[in-house]
């Protein structure tokens, strides 16, 4: 948190001072002029020592005063003087402008010592300010409590939005009466922002503390410098901001990594599912549609008050991610069977009916080998049981009713619906009315009646999904022929 800012017009001197800072183990940044240096301070660099060439102060005296008062109160300034500027530097120190000076012709170890001393001086000054504040011990307890709650709460947040809201709430406790806001984003796609704001509207004079992560700046804390009730931000307030920024930055980084991993996993799973699908590729966007129908069904069931103890937000997220895996096991079915035109022989059909077990086996191995893929256990259920029937007449196990996992019952309907409403080379698609009637007939024997009822209530939304995710190259066969029935070649859906 404590850093040294070095400002000198000569790169050699900047490098010399950076090396001295490294020797005393304090992080440092170097600049060649005051404007660049003040930009760093305003950007929330959290500096405790400013080591600056007296010439760089020329013409910037007021700007520096203003900048330090707002952004780095209590900072120790050390003048870096060439021998010929020593007399002037001494005057400036006497005038109270700087805390001390260093003769650049002296050894680097001396500068390292002085920088260390300057940093210590900054700490003492801050502590003195703290102790002279009669409300400090009380505030100290509250601040500790708020920071403790923040670090605990950040662990539990599962979205960047929730983290932004939690950090904003903590800032409100720590810096009452002030306008505060927290913005979080992914440095790789900064367009999508997660924002929370509290307190009075933000004015024109703001302190911004960037949240540094290994991927770049991933957000910022913004606090209004002025407040009618409590006046300007003081040194303690600035420190407090950094105390909030540190855990928030690491929590943001963790969350970004988690999202990244999740995207990579999802991409891999979808690629695997596509490989399976491509072998008998009859419908380009079948997997995406099944996934969205499954989401529609899960949300609909919950809205209608069915299976509410099972359908959590996490369940919905997993069903969306895992639905495309339903036919993964088809990778194990020989081309001669999978791609056969015409009816399958009983032996071929028996082979085809092993695809659920193959899918479950493949996914089980993935889950066993990678703890991060725990959510794929739902994919395993879906792959294994999507051809089970409500009446127990399905395959591969013959499970009945609610013994069939809910995820698999949901995907069973989604898969059938998509097969009925999508034209394939060997059949036409069905009209909306014919599909409704057919699903009604499957209710209670093939499909879970509650799922069918919930889905039919939302048939318009399903039609909209189908329209949106229509295959880019529609088959040449007509898409809607009333009363048409598919002449299936006997393959599994
Ligand atoms: Fe299947
Ligand atoms: Fe399918």
Instruction: Enter the CATH code of domain 136-256.
Output: 3.30.450.40
d(CA 91, CA 450) in angstroms, rounded, equals 87
d(CA 354, CA 350): 7
Q: How confident is the model at residue 60 (pLDDT cuts 50, 70, 90)?
A: confident
Residue 290: nearest ligand to its CA? 2
Residues of the chain with pLDDT > 90, as a percent, come to 43
Q: Where in the chain is the domain with CATH 1.10.3210.10?
A: 280-468
pLDDT in tens, 35-55: 888 888 877 667 888 999 988
Boundaries of CATH 3.30.450.40 in the chain? 136-256
Q: Point out the ligand nearest to the CA of residue 330.
A: 1
**The CATH number fitting domain 3-131, selected from 3.40.50.2300, 3.30.1330.40, 3.40.50.12780, 3.40.50.2000:** 3.40.50.2300
pLDDT of residue 483: 32
pLDDT at 448: 98
Residues with CB under 5 A from ligand 1 (ion): 327, 492
- With 50 as the cut, is the pLDDT of residue 491 above it? no
Nearest listed ligand to the Cα of residue 355: 1
Banded model confidence at residue 229, pLDDT cuts 50, 70, 90: low
415 CA distance to ligand 2 centroid (A)?
A: 5
Alpha helices in 51-177 (DSSP H): 54-57, 61-71, 86-94, 108-131, 136-156, 160-174
Residue pair 66/96 in contact (Cβ under 8 Å)? The answer is no
Which-ligand-closest: CA of 416? 2
CATH assignment, 280-468 = 1.10.3210.10
C-alpha span between 263 and 108 (Å, rounded): 49
Q: How many Å lie between the centroid of ligand 2 and the Cα of residue 280?
A: 10
Which ligand is the nearest neighbour of the Cα of 386? 1
Task: For residue 387, give the ligand nearest its CA.
Answer: 1
Looking at the CA of 357, name the nearest ligand: 1
Residue pair 165/181 in contact by the 8 Å Cβ criterion: no
List, edge to edge, every strand of the sheet that includes 189-198.
189-198, 180-186, 216-224, 206-213
Please, where in the chain does CATH 3.40.50.2300 lie? 3-131
Distance 386 CA to ligand 1 centre (A): 6
Residue 478, pLDDT > 50, answer no
Lowest-pLDDT range of 126-135, 334-343, 418-427: 126-135
Give the residue-averaged pLDDT of 438-445.
96
Task: Please report the pLDDT score of residue 132 as a whole number.
Answer: 61
Give the Å distance between the CA of 361 and the centre of ligand 1: 14
CA of 414 to the centre of ligand 2 (A): 9
**What tens digit of pLDDT does each residue of 281-295 get?**
655 688 899 999 999
Per residue in 215-227, pLDDT tens?
A: 889 999 998 887 6
């Amino acid at each position: 948190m404590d850093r040294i800012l070095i400002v000198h017009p000569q790169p050699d001197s900047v490098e010399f001072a950076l090396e001295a800072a490294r020797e005393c183990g304090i992080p440092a940044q170097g600049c060649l002029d005051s404007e660049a240096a003040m930009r760093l301070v305003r950007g929330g660099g959290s500096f405790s020592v400013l080591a600056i060439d007296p010439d760089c102060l020329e013409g910037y005296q007021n700007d520096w005063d203003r900048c330090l008062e707002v952004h780095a109160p209590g900072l120790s300034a050390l003048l870096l003087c060439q021998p010929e500027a020593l007399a002037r530097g001494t005057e400036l120190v006497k005038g109270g402008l700087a805390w001390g000076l260093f003769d650049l012709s002296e050894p680097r170890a001396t500068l390292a010592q002085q920088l260390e001393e300057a940093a210590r001086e900054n700490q003492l000054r801050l502590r003195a300010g703290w102790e002279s504040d009669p409300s400090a011990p009380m505030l100290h307890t509250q601040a500790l409590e708020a920071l403790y709650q923040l670090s605990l709460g950040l662990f539990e947040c599962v979205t960047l939005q929730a983290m932004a809201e939690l950090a904003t709430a903590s800032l409100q406790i720590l810096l009452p009466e002030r306008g505060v806001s927290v913005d979080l984003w992914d440095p790789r796609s900064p367009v999508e922002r997660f924002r929370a704001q509290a307190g009075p509207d933000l004015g024109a004079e703001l302190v911004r503390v960037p949240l540094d992560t290994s991927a770049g700046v991933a957000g910022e804390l913004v606090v209004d410098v002025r407040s009618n009730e409590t006046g300007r931000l003081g040194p303690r307030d600035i420190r407090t901001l950094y105390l909030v920024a540190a855990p928030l930055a690491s929590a943001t980084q963790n969350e970004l990594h988690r999202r990244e991993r999740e995207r990579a996993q999802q991409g891999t799973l979808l690629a695997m599912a596509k490989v399976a699908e491509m072998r008998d590729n009859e419908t380009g966007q079948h997997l995406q549609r099944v996934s969205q129908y499954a989401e529609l069904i899960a949300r609909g069931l919950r809205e209608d008050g069915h299976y509410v103890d099972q359908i959590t937000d996490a369940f919905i997220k997993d069903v969306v991610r895992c639905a495309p895996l339903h036919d993964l096991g088809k990778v194990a079915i020989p081309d001669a069977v999978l791609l056969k035109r015409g009816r399958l022989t009983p032996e071929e059909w028996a082979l085809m009916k092993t695809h659920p077990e193959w899918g479950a086996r493949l996914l089980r191995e993935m889950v066993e080998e990678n703890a991060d893929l725990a959510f794929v256990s739902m994919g395993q259920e879906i792959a294994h049981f999507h051809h089970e029937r409500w009446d127990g007449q399905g395959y591969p196990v013959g499970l009945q009713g609610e013994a069939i996992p809910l995820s698999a019952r949901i995907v069973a309907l989604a898969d059938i619906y998509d097969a009925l409403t999508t034209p394939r080379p060997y059949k036409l698609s069905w009209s909306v009315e014919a599909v409704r009637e057919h699903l009604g007939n499957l209710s209670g024997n093939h499909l879970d009646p509650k799922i069918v009822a919930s889905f039919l209530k939302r048939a318009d939304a399903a039609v909209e999904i189908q329209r949106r995710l229509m295959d880019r190259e529609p088959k040449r066969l007509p898409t809607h022929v009333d009363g048409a029935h598919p002449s299936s070649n006997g393959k599994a859906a």
